[in-house]
Structure 1
Amino acid sequence: MKYFKLPLTLVLTLVVFFGLNSKFGSTPPMGKFLSPNEGFWQNELDENLSSTMHIDGLTNEVTVHYDEHLIPHVFAQNNTDLYRAQGYLTAKHRLWQLEFQTFAAGGRLAEILGEQALDYDRQERRRGMVFGAENALEKMQEDPETLSYIEAYRDGVNSYINQLEPKDYPVEYKLLDYAPEPWTIDKTALLLMYMTKMLAGREADLEHTNALAKFGKERYDLLFPDFFDVNDPVISKETDWSFINVKMPETPEQDRSLDSISITETLDKPHPQNGSNNWAVSGRKSYSGHPILANDPHLGLNLPSIWFVMQLATPEHNSYGATLPGALGIISGYNNHISWGETNATRDVIDWYKIEFKDDTRKEYKHDDQWKKTTQRIEEIKIRNRETLYDTIIYTHHGPVSYDHSFKGDNAKAGYAMQWVGHIGGNNQRTFLKLNEGKNYDDYLDALKNYTAPAQNFVFASIQGDIALWIQGQFPNKWKGQGKFLLDGSNPKHDWQSFIPQKFNAHSKNPERGFVSSANQHPVDPSYPFYVYNDGYETYRNRVINDFFRAKDKFNIQDFKNLQNNNYNLKASELLPYIFTNMDTSTLTAEETDILNTIKSWDFYSEIDQLAPSIWESWWTKLYKIVWDEFDADSRALEKPFTYQTIYMLKNHPQDELMDILSTSEKETSNDLFLITFKETAKELTEWKAEHGDYNWGAYKATYVGHLLQALPAFSRFDLPIGGDYNTVNAASKNHGPSWRMIVEMTTPPTGYGIYPGGQSGNPGSKYYDNFIDRWAKGDYMNLLFMQDQEDTKDIIASQILTPKQ
């Protein structure tokens, strides 16, 4: 076993207990954890891949073949058995992760971790996570077929849990001293809500309201433009939108009384680099004449991995790809006819409303010149070893009043209510079930029609030769400017008036240029008639990708692999030459000059053995911070201007007053900032070298894949040799990046390649726990085994039969 061999036992135990105590302030009972009958000794690995297992509720036998990577290839006679088996197998290999993620989504971590998690739990309840999951579940329950499959998945998970004795629990349960509870259909809805938050939970309305008050409208528009001066959108600028004939909402007369409101603290945001790449080329641009599709979602790098790879087959359909533990079907993958993948569309689907309550009881609020009744939702938050907390959350027709006098509020009568598409509820599970069964473009489009949130760029390719990309989600049809700032909750004209009809969501099918792509950039150009503003869209990866596909006529699989692993730093290439031309170097020391010469000779590829990327990362971080020191010095919540506009300001407004450093008496320009921050960088890297050795990019970045608890270094992987950063196509930063790389050529049957930074097993003692990580870091891929016949077992290491329980 990888970690639990006897010589390491004492060291591991001390590390784990110290880590848990320092992170959460508590440790599990030592005697119970070390018990030879129930403790971690019982987690010696037994994959149990070949025995016959009896599963409650199955109607027919299900055959499960495991390949050399522990990927299960599941063959069932019907969908109900298939998804019951998926639930069982996911629980078998990922039970603790499966459950822990839904505790996080539902604001229940304090039940496990104690008081230290209370603020997080309160925040998630006030964000409306459980409320949104309940609404989604209502939508799913309106579809009897989807509901029956979710119930089958639930029963499969519980069949596995019910077979366990305490000695069999995954080691994390023993470390945290708790037990798994029965799975429910609510948890599938919570898991989907968790992904909605991760991918559609960023917004900055309150921060932008503060910025507007601080700088005024003209300066604000300079710092936060709706469109950058360079824009290579998801849907090509050549697209003709004249077919759209919807009346656009009128912009109401603006009440600027809200502009002076000062908000000091806001809800935590998801990771700012949660995004992805995807693209597809048509047969005309493919070396073989078959379309080729690629997808690599950029998420946190964790163990167990966010993804669990499976093949799911019945006589009617056969799909392969990455699943999300807790959700049904393949999320990013392919079947015999089509392939699909997603990137984050990052559209603005959250707005904040200032609520005026009638009095301190908060039972009524003003809207449309009348007092309307609020509703109260009492959230029961259980806390380990402490009394349960009951948090009363006020709801208006906009949504939950997340900020009020009892939680991050500004005064007793004030409140800020969140309106979020994620609260509407939608049967997103149906979308993926239908994609798994799809056979052509019409099936793909039909699968997307009812998809609500998080907004995603769904890429598509088929064996018929079609490629497409739809920006899909439910999007409010906003008047110009709506949602950038705090809205008036009493003004009905500030409500969402309607939604963009699904058929008018931006999309492209078989474009003349021969490819579709997205990398979280702006979805459209200004000619798109619906209001879409710059919500922090990516500006570098997308241009590298699109330029790559414009550069030649034909592309092969190796081209796709090279692009997914491309480390070209376009951001650095667009700023550094300007700095080299304009920075005064006369005061540099010999050592500083050597460092400058190193970065001046850089080819802008962030490779692990180079020093220049480390110089750039340190230099840019310091430069960005010092340019916007006015934001850090303000007591209000503020979001700094985006990277692209920062570079635009440095190059085009070098003497702007924002370049002046607040803490000095001198009047600095951007040229001064270049020199000041370079000298600080040289000092930092010289000290780093003295302590750690050479600051090559691999060592300096020190990419790691950490255990979900972030307190268990023994269950994590550190110092991974992978290049790139969050601005390169290979968006591998310190603990974030490509969480699943997939390439599919639409042959008959399709040919797939894939890798992710983890392993199939959730057991830290399994050789399958992290066995993909080294190959992922090197840019290698697995040739994906897409079985067409369950009897052809030549590449199978073990087989298991799931049978109905008598």
Structure 2
Amino acid sequence: MSASTDPVTHEPDQPREGDEPPEEDAAPPARSRLRRTAVGIAVLVVLALVATITFTVVTARRPLPDHSSTEQVPGLSGEVTVQRDAQGVPHVYAGTAEDLFAAQGYLHAQDRFFEMDYRRHVTAGRLAELVGDVPAAIDADKVIRTFGWREVAEEEWNLVSPESRSYLQAYAQGVNAYLADRAPEDLAVEYTVLGATVDVADPDPWDPVDSLAWLKAMAWDLRGNYDTELDRAKAYSTLEDVDLVDEIFPTFADGGNTPILTEEDLEPVDARTVARTSTELPWGTSALDAAIESATTALESVPVLVGRGDGAGSNSWAVSGDLTATGAPILANDPHLSLAAPGLWSQVSLHCDQVDDSCPFDVSGFSFAGFPGVIIGHNADLAWGLTNMNADVTDFFVERVRNDTWLRDADAEEWVDMETRTETIRVNGGTPVELRVRSTDHGPVVSDVLDVGAVVGAPTETGTVFGEYAVSLAWTALEPGRTADAVFAMASASDADEIAAAAELFDVPAQNIVFATTDGHIGYQAPGKVPQRRDVEGPVPSDGTWPRPGWDPRFDWQGYVDPAEMPRALDPEEGFVVAANQAVLPDGVGPELSQDWDQGFRSERIRTLLTEQVSAGRPFTVADMNDLQVDDWSPFAAVLVPVLLEMEIEDSYDAAGQELLAGWDYRTGADSAAAAYFNAVWRNLLSATFWDDLPADALPSGGSRWLVVVRDMLERPDDPFWDDRSTLNVVETRDEILTRALVTARHDLTVELSKDPGDWSWGALHELSLQHPVLGGPDVPGLVRDYVNPHPVQMPGGSSIVNATGWDASTGSFAVTTGPSMRMVVDLGDLDASTWVTVTGTSGHPASPHYDDQLSSWAAGDTFTWPFTRDAVEEDAEDTATLVP
């Protein structure tokens, strides 16, 4: 069905900031930087300065909205008040829920419409329509059209409740009210820049389904063990030994850390055991290699919109009021996701003038531009945080295909027709691309998406009788669900039962929900649609950790875990609950959710610090929680440094780095020389140990799994992985590799930083360089790129550290790839005493002072006050706008 909303007539524009050149003291920081760079230099540079000022004042500032005027918004039933604080966060007050969400749509479009438009083009497989004949955009469109995100979202429109549909329609109406009568260049500077190379038409009206499709992007980036399943198969392609693969993919139990809930929280069930009959896979190695290559290519073609990588996790915990200074619970949450400019989150408060059944919202927190409501935050009764549960919700099926048929049952020789459709990808300024999509019962055939002839054309060992190989993807998010209903239900929930009811609707992505209430309770709830898999004897486990044969129906999904069986807890005896992507339950307890968890070093550190403070008898405060969120102690160093100090390095120059480790407290502050050296050692240790054994696209990222692998290998000095297979007739041992890593790290930092170790600092290596998703890349003119990308900031922390500023060791770079996309701490005893911060700011306009005004505070670990009650909001308000019908 079409849920399009007609453009809403907009009254003549009120005067807006940017209609006239601003006063000099109103220039944003970016403009000041550009001007300081150019002053007093040659005539050529002065001309560049003039161009810069013209770009900044005339072009970049043109879309800036007025945050303190009266605006007419057709469709409102009454007056809406919007008060903004010093960070530009809007606090919205309305008489009806529909007016509340219409206002939110208007404000999102006002501050961040290009971000919304970019996201909806991505999620509909229409990115090439926006950015033109860009191969990466066309590849992304092919993959997403194959997945059919937009089609699933359209089905969801008929599935969500009438109330949710009314909220989504109201939101779209508000967006379209802002779009009406505004040219693209009045909406965002990005359209002006894109207009230099492609035709930029007026944006389409916002459709409620555009909002639902955004949920598919969130589910995709937080999909669980997709990457790990691929990595196992990639590792097997070179190791050719399932036992060796198992060694570098240890279970959560191997890590020895504590799950979210204990056995006492659920009745125990028998642990799963899956027999392994051989170490040969049911398909040829070459065919598997090609299949995995195709799936990997498809994965990497989808733009990152939420988060990806080893550091994409999150921390969340709640502490009972019995342990706090106020006597009320405190809840903390900081999702670790991919970081970009503008940041993912849009802070907002949404208040019904009178809270009742017809208008139940009195909520504040973090929203997504493009979707109504609040995703994470608190209302007057309850606060909730989300972390990725890592439930296994995807499986690859290696299929046998003949033309447009696939083998559903090899024993019965049952060949059935595939579902097929043709998609047309329109390319701005280019030739349309035709895409033929095929699907089996398991899901879309992803090996058809790109040029992967090695998969489709590879004959099997039995010739054409069993056809050719292809790869399909089963994923829970490709079935329509009611996650939109869950978002609104959580925003108005007040107790554990209402959170459980909301969780039953929260199909994808599967997220840990930690919550606390103003009446004194804390708890945990696992939501999500999680597949059930049958135990099948075979060469590898049938638990979803490896690709599975599509021609054997025993490997098909057997339904989903009953929502009533999903783990939950209320007021645990120890007085706190911690969810940081570790296993939800011990092995053999409760439903089978996944085998691929974070190894739990962040969660264990949080638990340790909480337990120490409880033992000391010191009540917790909001400040304590803020400090804990930026803890930068390294579990990697705690494991490795004692062994590294045992290595003997004869040359005093080479040993200068090692000397930094003696007496180091394992903290990874931005100014730490020891942290810089240690992380260089870790990077080099991983490359010296594993790069000769694994394919180039499966090298160690350096996250929590690799710490468990190396920690266990330290007890096996002759483990075959220590040997460098590239050195002929030599078999290296543990100590040789450790010493090599120490020495090469000293030499590397001499080149990268300084000959004097005293000049080294972790932050000089570990920088965060935020990039605009469309205009921030190297192919964009430097003037524009420098303007839309905030200045790099030096960061503490690292992978599997509580302050989780992740980096990828396989790239050779220490640059921050993921991190806390926001931080919040909620005091359930005094909601106005809560704190929050995002990585950039509330605005998506690079010329706005709120584009990146929170970045330096975020990087330093500071937060801002978070007013909630009307009096506190009014006291902090710096701008007030009124929206009228």
Give the structure-2-normalised TM-score. 0.82
Distance 1:93 1:127, change over 3 A: same
Partner of 2:568: 507
CA contact (8 A) 2:60 2:847 kept: no
CA contact (8 A) 2:316 2:579 kept: yes
Residue pairs, 1:690-705, within 5 angstroms: 690=754, 694-705=759-770
CA contact (8 A) 1:60 1:77 kept: yes
Deviates more, 1:500-509 or 1:702-711: 702-711
Q: How far off is 1:673 after superposition? A: 0.9
Deviates more, 1:637-646 or 1:447-456: 637-646
Match of 2:205 among 177, 182, 191: 182
Distance in structure 2 (CA, Å) of the matches to 1:562 and 1:185: 40
Partner of 1:16: none
Partner secondary structure for residue 222 of structure 2: helix
Partner of 1:157: 175
1:390-441 Cα distance to aligned partner (Å, 9 max, x none): 1111011111000149643513332111000111221111112111112222
Residue pairs, 1:756-795, within 5 angstroms: 756-788=838-870, 793-795=874-876
Distance in structure 2 (CA, Å) of the matches to 1:243 and 1:687: 56
Partner secondary structure for residue 592 of structure 1: coil
Partner of 2:378: 334
Distance 1:719 1:39, change over 3 A: closer
Q: How far off is 1:45 after superposition? A: 7.1
Q: How far off is 1:198 after superposition? A: 1.2
Partner secondary structure for residue 661 of structure 2: helix
Partner of 1:130: 150
CA contact (8 A) 2:534 2:554 kept: no
CA contact (8 A) 2:56 2:847 kept: no
CA contact (8 A) 2:65 2:110 kept: no
Partner of 1:147: 165
Match of 1:478 among 533, 536, 548: 533
Distance 1:463 1:668, change over 3 A: same
Give the letter for the 1:416 counterpart: V
Partner secondary structure for residue 601 of structure 1: coil
CA contact (8 A) 1:545 1:729 kept: yes
1:503-545 Cα distance to aligned partner (Å, 9 max, x none): 2112221100100111111222113143344315143111101
Residue pairs, 1:540-551, within 5 angstroms: 540-551=601-612
1:200 aligns with 2:223: yes
Distance in structure 1 (CA, Å) of the matches to 2:514 and 2:449: 45
Distance in structure 1 (CA, Å) of the matches to 2:793 and 2:153: 37
Q: How far off is 1:716 after superposition? A: 2.0
Distance 1:10 1:163, change over 3 A: farther
Residue pairs, 1:273-422, within 5 angstroms: 273-314=311-352, 315-316=354-355, 317-357=361-401, 359-360=402-403, 362-367=404-409, 369=412, 370-404=414-448, 407-409=451-453, 410-412=455-457, 413-422=468-477
Q: How far off is 1:803 after superposition? A: 1.2
Distance in structure 1 (CA, Å) of the matches to 2:862 and 2:818: 18
Q: How far off is 1:241 after superposition? A: 2.9
Partner secondary structure for residue 479 of structure 1: coil
Superposed CA RMSD: 3.0
Deviates more, 1:283-292 or 1:38-47: 38-47
Distance 1:751 1:204, change over 3 A: same
Distance in structure 2 (CA, Å) of the matches to 1:395 and 1:313: 45
Distance in structure 2 (CA, Å) of the matches to 1:72 and 1:610: 38
Partner secondary structure for residue 158 of structure 1: helix
Partner secondary structure for residue 242 of structure 1: coil
Partner secondary structure for residue 264 of structure 2: coil
Partner of 2:460: none
Q: How far off is 1:379 after superposition? A: 2.3
1:218-250 Cα distance to aligned partner (Å, 9 max, x none): 3333332333423334433343532779x9999
CA contact (8 A) 1:249 1:478 kept: no
Distance in structure 2 (CA, Å) of the matches to 1:348 and 1:59: 45
- Identical residues among aligned pairs (%): 27
Distance in structure 2 (CA, Å) of the matches to 1:720 and 1:110: 32
Give the letter for the 1:796 counterpart: A
CA contact (8 A) 2:630 2:802 kept: yes
Deviates more, 1:738-747 or 1:298-307: 298-307
Give the letter for the 1:222 counterpart: E
Partner of 2:578: 517
Deviates more, 1:381-390 or 1:178-187: 178-187
Q: How far off is 1:442 after superposition? A: 1.8
Partner of 1:652: 715
Distance in structure 2 (CA, Å) of the matches to 1:367 and 1:637: 32
CA contact (8 A) 2:840 2:852 kept: yes
Partner of 1:222: 247
1:765-799 Cα distance to aligned partner (Å, 9 max, x none): 11111111111122111111113369x73332221
Distance in structure 1 (CA, Å) of the matches to 2:185 and 2:241: 63
Give the letter for the 1:659 counterpart: W
Distance in structure 1 (CA, Å) of the matches to 2:732 and 2:709: 16
Q: How far off is 1:612 after superposition? A: 0.9
1:593-621 Cα distance to aligned partner (Å, 9 max, x none): 22110122321000111111111111111
Q: How far off is 1:175 after superposition? A: 0.9
Distance in structure 1 (CA, Å) of the matches to 2:583 and 2:797: 22
Partner secondary structure for residue 641 of structure 2: helix
1:568-601 Cα distance to aligned partner (Å, 9 max, x none): 00122111212222x2323xx2222221101223
Gap regions ≥5 residues in structure 1: 13-29
1:798 aligns with 2:879: yes
Partner of 1:86: 104
Partner secondary structure for residue 472 of structure 1: coil
Give the letter for the 2:655 counterpart: T
Match of 1:685 among 736, 743, 749: 749
Distance in structure 2 (CA, Å) of the matches to 1:56 and 1:231: 59
Partner of 2:691: 629
CA contact (8 A) 2:837 2:858 kept: yes
Aligned positions, number: 775
CA contact (8 A) 1:471 1:506 kept: yes
Distance in structure 1 (CA, Å) of the matches to 2:661 and 2:52: 53
Residue pairs, 1:64-75, within 5 angstroms: 64-75=82-93
1:449 aligns with 2:514: no
Distance 1:159 1:670, change over 3 A: same
Q: How far off is 1:762 after superposition? A: 1.3
Partner of 1:602: 664
Give the letter for the 1:708 counterpart: P
Distance in structure 1 (CA, Å) of the matches to 2:830 and 2:134: 55
Residue pairs, 1:28-67, within 5 angstroms: 40-41=58-59, 43-44=61-62, 46-67=64-85
Partner secondary structure for residue 218 of structure 1: helix
Distance in structure 1 (CA, Å) of the matches to 2:580 and 2:879: 39
Partner of 1:490: 551
CA contact (8 A) 1:519 1:542 kept: yes
Q: How far off is 1:97 after superposition? A: 0.9
Distance in structure 1 (CA, Å) of the matches to 2:252 and 2:259: 13
Gap regions ≥5 residues in structure 2: 1-26, 39-47, 301-307, 356-360, 458-467, 536-540, 778-784, 807-815
Give the structure-1-normalised TM-score. 0.90
1:332-389 Cα distance to aligned partner (Å, 9 max, x none): 11011000010111121110112122x22x1454347322221113222222221110
Q: How far off is 1:723 after superposition? A: 1.3
Give the letter for the 1:718 counterpart: H
CA contact (8 A) 1:263 1:637 kept: no
Distance in structure 2 (CA, Å) of the matches to 1:375 and 1:10: 61
Match of 1:262 among 282, 288, 293: 288
Give the letter for the 1:191 counterpart: W
Match of 1:575 among 640, 643, 653: 640
Give the letter for the 1:742 counterpart: M
